[in-house]
């Protein structure tokens, strides 16, 4: 499904970074830091962070999306490492990243516990998780995001999943999301930031 969605000349979700990520990228620390971007698709967020001077690995289940991410990185003259993987099964090296960025990474509920454990495992001590996702309230809207609540987390779920981290921000809110033609309009989102002790 994602390969088909990305198989177009334009960038479905635009080439600019997510607003929430842009607002909080300073929490990652002075570059260069090692950053993992989950479900980075066409690479807008990963390329932005690479442009700040970070060493970025963008992971996605779509090889088509990752090829577009690599092309965008080349156009912006930054270095981006891409990784084709299924986040519901892939295992990351322990304590290998200073930050994990999860922007609109929507995997089925059954696969989220594995992914959450891998995020904690992959973070170095002091490393930060920056996450924004649509909540179940987004599902009936036509402004982007999954068409089933099974793929949308809540703040309560994230609070439980990352309880061993120091939670710096956890909230559900509505905000205007404008990211290409894929995400456009009012969105019901969860915003979450936590740091490994």
CATH number at residue 73: 3.40.50.150
Instruction: Look up the pTM and report it.
Output: 0.97
Count of domains forming the chain: 1
Helix, coil or strand: residue 38: strand
pLDDT at 15: 94
Per residue in 94-145, pLDDT tens?
999 999 999 999 999 999 999 999 999 999 999 999 999 999 999 999 999 9
Which letter does DSSP use for residue 34 in this model?
Answer: E
- DSSP output for 27-62: GG-SSP-EEEEET-TT-HHHHHHHHTT-EEEEEES-
Domain interval for residue 17? 2-195
CA distance 193 to 181: 26
Answer yes or no: are the C-beta atoms of 11 and 65 closer than 8 Å: no
Quote the CA–CA distance of 177 and 67 in Å, as a whole number.
25
Pairing of strands 183-195, 166-179: antiparallel
Task: Reply yes or no: is the peptide bond before residue 88 cis, omega within 30 of 0.
Answer: no
Q: Considering the chain, what percentage of its residues have pLDDT values greater than 90?
A: 92
If DSSP codes are grouped into helix, strand and coil, which group holds residue 180? Answer: coil
Residue 5 clears pLDDT 90, i.e. is over it: no
């Amino acid at each position: 499904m994602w390969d088909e969605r990305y198989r177009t000349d334009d960038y479905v979700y635009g080439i600019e970074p997510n607003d929430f990520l842009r607002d909080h990228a300073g929490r990652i620390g002075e570059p260069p830091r090692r950053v993992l971007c989950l479900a980075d698709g066409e690479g807008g967020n990963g390329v932005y962070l690479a442009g700040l001077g970070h060493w970025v690995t963008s992971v996605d289940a779509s090889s088509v999306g990752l090829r577009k991410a690599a092309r965008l990185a080349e156009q912006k003259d930054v270095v981006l490492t891409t990784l084709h993987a299924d986040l519901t099964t892939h295992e990351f090296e322990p304590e290998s990243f200073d930050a994990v960025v999860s922007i609109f990474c929507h995997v089925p509920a059954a696969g989220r516990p594995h992914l959450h454990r891998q995020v904690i495992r992959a973070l170095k001590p002091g490393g930060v998780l920056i996450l924004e996702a649509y909540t179940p309230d987004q599902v009936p809207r036509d402004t982007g995001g999954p068409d089933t609540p099974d793929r949308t987390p809540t703040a309560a779920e994230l609070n439980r999943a990352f309880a061993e981290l120091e939670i710096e921000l956890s909230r559900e809110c509505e905000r205007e999301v404008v990211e290409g033609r894929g995400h456009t309009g009012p969105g019901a989102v969860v915003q979450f930031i936590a740091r490994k002790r």
